[in-house]
Amino acid sequence: MSSVDIPREAWATRIGFIFAAVGSAVGLGNIWRFPFQVGQEGGAAFLVIYLVFIVAVGFPAMLVEFVVGRYTERNPVGALRELGSGAWQYVGWIFIATGFVILSYYSVVAGWTIRYTILGLQDGYLADAGEAEAQFVTLASGLDAIVLHAIFMAAVILIVGMGIQRGIELAVKVLVPAIIVITVGLAIYAATLEGAGDAYAYYLSPEWSVIAENWTSILPAAAGQAFFTLSLGMGVMITYASYLGENRNLAEDGAIVIGLDTAIAFVTGLIVFPILFTAGVDPADPGAGAIFVSLAAAFGDLTFGWLIGAVFFATVAIAALSSAISLMEVVVSYAIDERNLDRMTAAALIGGGMFLLGIPSAYDLVLLDLFDLFADQILLVLGGLLLMILVGWSLSSLAIDELGRGIGDLGSYGTAWIWAVRIPVVLVLFVALVLGVLDYAE
Ligand code: PHE
Ligand code: NA
């Protein structure tokens, strides 16, 4: 029997879709990437630009992906083939490529979080920054890193292979509440630390001059981060919405997903910066290793730091898992819909390919940084930009009708949404793409 004969899978419960979308959104982007972007791009000033982009760009863009998925009930390649003509048909392929690139290195980083959870429980963390850095270099590349990369990828394959209801939905119903509860708990703990006051000042009071001086790097970084953190620009939300059988209020769902993702990123800052300031570690220390070196060193300095650190890194691992599932599901849904593969085979083949592609990143951190930059500032933004142009400019009435299903007559809100997509969203993505390419070429 080919998969065409089987009815398309669907979420079992109302909350299942929201949890899955939140699980996708909340990930390494919030806990690993966000704090080091804030540190690198100048603290609170970056935070403000980022928040503006989340609301003005991320929200309209997420609704576009939702309506495309629910309307077509297809994987992203099939969806774009149905909606686009000519070259537009191939935009879905960019999403597939992006999924491959991102999950390849995302899984390597997720492997580190598992390693650092074990490290805390076994030996504790090293307080000396130099030693912590040397330890990170040893643990983060080479055989150790590859084994953990393999273990993490295997977990993702298993969950995705089990299917929408019995795999993904079940997993996120456990993982997402755990992430929320532990993150809030850690922020309360961090508030009791001695460096909390200085940390809040750094994190929450913007220096506007920083924006004026560095806008060419802050703008693409903030736009890329907004897309990355909301899992936009690579078909995740198209895919997840394609499993919606019912007419829901997608605007409400989008607002919940965005609200929770932003809250978790923000609260992570309330955890990370007090810990760094208390231990006297410089938050501007850049690079992919940031939370592993500086934060681990800070944990090494605190009483019970080994325990707090292990809980922290375990949370990061859980968040990474629920996001990795969605990255793989984009490609797996394509293999099922269009190649008639059965789900478990598809997950194993695709996960195997992603594992191989990740091996270079597990050997060389410079490569990992390049993969991350390429995926985040170029691929995601490019895929997102093309989708927004297509839907905003040539499918607007279809999109408005589809968003209205489950809401009712949108009135002028529908027009406002489409115009937000047409001009500001497209413009921001275009400028971010140009600056991102220039930045990457450097
Ligand atoms: N949103 C995830 C995070 O913040 C990353 C991600 C990007 C997941 C794109 C899926 C698609 O970590
Ligand atoms: Na996120």
Q: Tell me the best of 100, 315, 326 to mutate to test the pocket of ligand 1, counting ligand atoms within 8 Å of each CB and taking the most.
A: 326
CA distance 272 to 31: 9
Q: Whose CA is nearest to atom 10 of ligand 1?
A: 231
pLDDT in tens, 285-331: 655 667 788 889 889 988 899 999 999 999 999 999 999 999 999 99
Ligand 2 centre distance from Cα of residue 228 (Å) = 7
Q: Tell me the best of 22, 24, 374 to mutate to test the pocket of ligand 1, counting ligand atoms within 8 Å of each CB and taking the most.
A: 24
CA angle 190, 196, 197 (to 5 degrees): 155
Q: Whose CA is nearest to atom 6 of ligand 1?
A: 231
Q: Considering only CA atoms, which of 262, 272, 323 is closest in space to residue 294?
A: 272
Whether 147 and 363 have beta carbons less than 8 Å apart is answered as no
* pLDDT confidence of residue 191: 96
Q: Which residue has the tokens 């959104």?
A: 25
CA distance 375 to 338: 25
Q: Which residue has the tokens 């930045």?
A: 439
pLDDT in tens, 235-267: 999 999 999 977 889 999 999 999 999 999 999
Whether 115 and 144 have beta carbons less than 8 Å apart is answered as yes
CA distance 223 to 119: 34
Q: What count of other Cβ atoms lies within 10 Å of the Cβ of residue 243?
A: 22
pLDDT in tens, 337-359: 999 999 999 999 999 999 999 99
Domains of the chain: total: 1
CA distance 80 to 85: 8
CA distance 440 to 442: 5
pLDDT in tens, 8-34: 899 999 899 999 999 999 999 898 888
* E strand or H helix that includes residue 410: none
CA distance 394 to 345: 37
Ligand 1 atom nearest residue 28's Cα: 12
Ligand 2 centre distance from Cα of residue 182 (Å) = 16
Whether 145 and 139 have beta carbons less than 8 Å apart is answered as yes
The range of the structural domain enclosing residue 123 comes to 3-441
Q: Considering only CA atoms, which of 322, 185, 148 is closest in space to residue 240?
A: 322
Q: Considering only CA atoms, which of 318, 371, 111, 332 is closest in space to residue 236?
A: 332
For residue 102, give the CATH number of its domain. 1.20.1740.10
Whether 356 and 17 have beta carbons less than 8 Å apart is answered as no
Ligand 1 centre distance from Cα of residue 28 (Å) = 7
pLDDT confidence bin for 2, thresholds 50/70/90? very low
* Residue 62 structure tokens: 């997420």
pLDDT in tens, 188-214: 999 999 999 999 988 888 778 877 788
CA distance 418 to 415: 5
* ipTM attached to this prediction: 0.98
* Residue 64 structure tokens: 């576009």
Ligand 1 centre distance from Cα of residue 24 (Å) = 6
CA distance 162 to 164: 7
CA distance 87 to 173: 39
Ligand 1 pocket by C-beta < 6 Å: which residues?
A: 24-25, 27-30, 102, 228-229, 231, 234, 236, 323, 326-327
Ligand 1 atom nearest residue 265's Cα: 4
pLDDT in tens, 29-74: 898 888 878 877 777 888 888 999 999 999 999 999 999 999 999 9
Q: Whose CA is nearest to atom 7 of ligand 1?
A: 231
Ligand 1 atom nearest residue 327's Cα: 10
* pLDDT confidence of residue 154: 98
Ligand 2 centre distance from Cα of residue 79 (Å) = 24
* Residue 185 structure tokens: 């708990």
